[in-house]
Amino acid sequence: MRDGYLTVAGEGEHEREVSRSRFLCALAPAATEEEARAFLARVRARYPDATHHCWAYVLGAAGEVRRSGDDGEPGGTAGLPMLRMLLRREVRFSVAVVARWFGGTKLGAGGLIRAYGGVVGEALDAVGTVPRRRLRLVSVTVGHAAAGRLENELRAAGRDVRRVTYGAEVTIEVGLPEAEAGAFAQWLAGATAGEARVTLGGETYRAP
């Protein structure tokens, strides 16, 4: 998603059977590598009798952090196809753990790749994903006399007012779609008779 990303809707599980082997995929949102590793530990503790606990996670709005592990499966046949499925579905800030119970029939490299990647895709469909929209943070600085009315107008218009700071002047931090920043500056100039000042900041993400 150019103007945002998808993340898993919440923690959930989905199971499939392939040639008598059970593959159970557990999904969860994760903001940091520590959270992703903690979820992996929880799944391992929940299913200690599984033959393997393979995993993958993608962090960062642009997928800057990408990790995976095969946990004893042949290299590249488990964690990597799981990771590729998360990336293909544009899922970010999420972790997938697949517990496998070996059923006695070897699947071969191709079969393992299809099974591990496939169960992650099915789990994403079952658990669901939610979008996060990219916003540009804008700081509006205005005098105390106009601040209250301006804040009320911003909230009434459905603007994402994130923080209001009082000092010698009042600073109102607003999240805007990137494409609307120019129009917002023009509206603000008219609404405050040119009194307010606008400073562009970094980016953030929120549910639409």
Burial 131-148 (b: 16+ CB within 10 A, else e): ebbbbbbbbbbbeeebbe
The tens digit of pLDDT for each residue in 36-56 reads: 999 999 999 999 999 999 999
- Is residue 191 predicted with pLDDT exceeding 90? no
Place of tokens 């697949």: 98
Q: Which of 86-90, 103-107, 190-194, 204-208 has the highest mean pLDDT?
A: 86-90
Of 206 and 78, more confident: 78
Give residue 207's pLDDT: 72
pTM equals: 0.77
DSSP 6: E
Tokens representing residue 188 in the block: 């603000």
CA distance 57 to 66: 6
Q: Whose CA is closest to 208, among 133, 135, 115?
A: 133
- Is residue 104 predicted with pLDDT exceeding 80? yes
Per-residue pLDDT band for 208 (boundaries 50, 70, 90) equals low
* Structural domains of the chain sorted by starting position, each given as residue range(s) with its CATH number in brackets: 4-127 (3.30.230.30), 132-206 (3.30.70.240)
Give residue 2's pLDDT: 61
Mean pLDDT of all residues in 190-197:
88
- Is residue 1 predicted with pLDDT exceeding 60? no
Lowest mean pLDDT among 5-9, 30-34, 163-167, 177-181: 177-181
Mean pLDDT of all residues in 115-135:
94
Of 198 and 111, more confident: 111
Determine the Cα angle at 138 with ends 135 and 141, to 5°. 160
- Is residue 61 predicted with pLDDT exceeding 80? yes
Cα-trace Rg, the chain: 23
Average pLDDT over the chain, rounded to whole? Answer: 92
Give residue 169's pLDDT: 94
Per-residue pLDDT band for 116 (boundaries 50, 70, 90) equals very high
Per-residue pLDDT band for 70 (boundaries 50, 70, 90) equals very high
Give residue 48's pLDDT: 97
